[in-house]
């Protein structure tokens, strides 16, 4: 499932997904029958969704009893490395935009913590959440690191000139932390949350 027809079109070009059913739609109204799945995976999406109680009710509806919900949720930087520097620069660039051009705050804050997810999932019939923090190492040459971090949706409203200024500022910021072999340390942490439908 994805809201974006463009993302689905790209997915359809991947040979490994040739047998997959790819649907355009909203998680608040899943086009699947009751008890259709043994598992549901949400990768970096649940934390951005509105009407989260409707989303969870729909996931519970389409899961069979004992089915698993697994979510990857963004956590942020470990501290003191390139991702943290990038986020600081991005926030400054976004603050300079008129309010009408900024990406509004997305999602329900409860999805960002274990207790919050328990509060959301429990009433829908899920067990307590298992929670694990996992570092994702994006370190590499500066161009590669830029390619990784500059894909955030927050850059969408930025015009080309602003993105170029952000890129130049990022390259300058990470110059001092670049290792002698040209590697820029960059670690992004995600939380992996799983719960089972009772």
**Which domains, from first to last, does the chain contain?**
32-196 (3.40.50.150)
Residue among 185, 48, 76 nearest 133 (CA): 76
Q: Two tokens at 107?
A: 């999602």
Q: Report pLDDT for 72.
A: 96
Q: What is the mean pLDDT of residues 133-157?
A: 91
What is the per-residue pLDDT across 91-138, written as a single tens digit (0 to 9) for each?
Answer: 999 988 888 888 888 899 999 999 999 999 999 999 999 999 999 999
């Amino acid at each position: 499932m994805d809201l974006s027809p463009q993302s689905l079109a790209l997915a359809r070009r991947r040979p490994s997904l040739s047998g997959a059913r790819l649907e355009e739609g909203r998680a608040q109204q899943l086009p699947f029958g009751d008890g259709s799945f043994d598992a549901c995976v949400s990768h970096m999406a649940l934390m951005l969704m509105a009407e989260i109680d409707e989303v969870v009710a729909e996931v519970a509806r389409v899961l069979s009893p004992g089915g698993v919900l697994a979510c990857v949720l963004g956590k942020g930087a470990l501290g003191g490395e390139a991702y943290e520097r990038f986020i600081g620069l991005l926030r400054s660039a976004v603050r300079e935009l008129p309010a009408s051009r900024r990406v509004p705050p997305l999602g329900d804050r409860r999805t960002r913590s274990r207790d919050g997810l328990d509060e959301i999932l429990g009433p829908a019939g899920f067990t307590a959440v298992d929670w694990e923090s996992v570092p994702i190492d994006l370190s590499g040459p500066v161009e590669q690191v830029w390619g990784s971090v500059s894909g955030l949706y927050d850059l969408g409203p930025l015009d080309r000139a602003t993105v170029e200024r952000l890129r130049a500022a990022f390259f300058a910021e990470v110059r001092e932390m670049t290792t002698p072999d040209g590697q820029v340390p960059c670690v992004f942490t995600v939380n992996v949350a799983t719960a089972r439908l009772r």
